[in-house]
């Protein structure tokens, strides 16, 4: 059995997710559809590692939004999330391969972590990386690095007039695998 340990905040919602009423639990339909596609292609199952699992309202919201999970990690308030996942795995020896999708690193470095930016949530590149990992095509994981460049406050060298007209360099997202190569 293949398992995805899933965080929700920063993975299935992001800074751009519409939330006009400022609800505490919200899911972006596009990001959820991306997860559904990943699950369909890999035949993986979801175990919630999200903090939503610790709040009955959060669990109800996950079900309301259609987050497809079969179980939740144990809640060990004094333990990092990685230890909770390891406990779940110890209790379920039929797992053949697993991946973690989480925008934070709560002692997850020793686990196969795929880390999207909370600014974008689950990207196609991260989903493809998880897919390749779960089907055994690679053992590399992906972390998203978000590069943000502020307005230029320094004198520019000749030839950089186009940068001055723009006022800033646009932000970009680059996914890197664990060896530091662009994915």
- State the total domains in the chain: 1
| pLDDT for residue 119 | 92
Residue 34 lies in a domain: yes
| pLDDT for residue 140 | 84
Residue 164 lies in a domain: no
| pLDDT for residue 75 | 95
Q: Which DSSP category does 181 fall into?
A: -
Whole-structure pTM value: 0.79
Q: What is the mean pLDDT of each run of 10 residues along the chain (183 residues)?
A: 97 93 94 98 98 96 97 94 96 97 87 94 96 92 57 49 46 44 46
CATH number of the domain that residue 81 is part of:
3.40.50.1000
Q: Most distant CA pair in the chain: distance in Å?
A: 64
Residue 113 lies in a domain: yes
Query: Distance between CA atoms of 7 and 162, rounded to whole angstroms?
Result: 41
| pLDDT for residue 144 | 62
CB 115 within 8 A of CB 102: yes
Q: What angle do CA 101, 102, 103 make, to 5 degrees?
A: 135
Range of the domain at 126: 2-140
């Amino acid at each position: 059995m293949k398992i995805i340990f899933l965080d929700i905040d920063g993975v299935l919602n992001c800074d751009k997710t519409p939330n006009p009423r400022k609800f505490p639990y919200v899911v972006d339909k596009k990001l959820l559809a991306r997860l559904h596609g990943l699950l369909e292609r890999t035949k993986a199952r979801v175990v919630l590692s999200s903090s939503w699992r610790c709040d009955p309202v959060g669990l109800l919201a996950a079900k309301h939004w259609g987050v497809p999970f079969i179980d939740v990690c144990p809640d060990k308030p004094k333990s990092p999330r990685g230890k909770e996942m390891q406990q779940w795995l110890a209790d379920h020896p039929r797992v053949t391969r697993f991946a973690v999708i989480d925008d934070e690193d709560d002692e997850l470095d020793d686990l196969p972590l795929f880390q999207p930016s909370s600014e974008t949530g689950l990207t196609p590149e991260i989903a493809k990386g998880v897919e390749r990992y779960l089907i055994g095509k690679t053992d590399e994981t992906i972390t998203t690095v978000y590069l943000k460049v502020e307005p230029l406050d320094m004198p520019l060298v000749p030839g950089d007039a186009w940068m001055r007209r723009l006022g800033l360099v646009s932000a970009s997202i680059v996914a890197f695998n664990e060896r530091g190569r662009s994915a």
